[in-house]
Structure 1
Amino acid sequence: METRQRTLVKAIVWNMIGLTVMAIVGLLMTGSAAVGGAMAAINTMLGLSMYFIYERIWAHIGWGRKHG
């Protein structure tokens, strides 16, 4: 079972990658760094929260795990 700290670090690293990609996509799609950055920030906040919850739920599901 993963610790909450590990789950949080994984979520933060993953979301920093997503923030960077989303900011670039937002900039390319809108032509505005401010709009692209705002889109990326909102997406990252929502994504981080959802990813953390998702990982914590799966940490309690034994299906597909091999022990030993």
Structure 2
Amino acid sequence: MQVWKTRARSSNKRSLLKTLSWRTTASIDTFLIAWFVTGAPLAGGAIALGEILTKLVWYYLHERIWAHIDLE
């Protein structure tokens, strides 16, 4: 079983676009939850901003690792 394999469908550009679309969705969710919990939209925005910056990098790296794993 070959685990590391390159696939044309899992390009760097595709991973980057998926990362950006997911981060947008997830950050809106984080903002709304933080606003609800704190009662302050500014606090919600600050929390969401911090989350955006760190999780963009982590998700991209996670996506690239999984693009090379063949479980079949």
- TM-score tier, shorter chain, comes to 0.7 to 0.9
Higher relative helix content: 1
How many angstroms does 1:63 deviate by? 1.7
* Aligned residue pairs, count: 64
Distance in 2, matches of 1:9 and 1:30, equals: 31
Gaps of 5+ in 2: 1-6
For structure 1, list consecutive stretches of 5 or more residues without a partner in the other structure: none
Q: TM-score, normalised by structure 1?
A: 0.86
* Deviations 1:19-51 (CA, angstroms, capped at 9, x unpaired): 111111110011111111111111122111111
| Corresponding residue for residue 36 of structure 1 | 44
**Is structure 2 residue 63 aligned with structure 1 residue 55?**
yes
Aligned position for 1:12? 20
> How far apart, CA to CA, are the structure 1 residues paired with 2:59 and 2:46?
20
Highest RCO, 1 vs 2 (Cα 8 Å, sep ≥ 6): 2
* Coordinate RMSD, CA, aligned: 0.9
Q: What percentage of aligned pairs have identical amino acids? A: 30
- Structure 1: distance between partners of 2:38 and 2:56: 24
SS in 1 for 2:71: coil
Distance across 2 between alignment mates of 1:22 and 1:58: 25
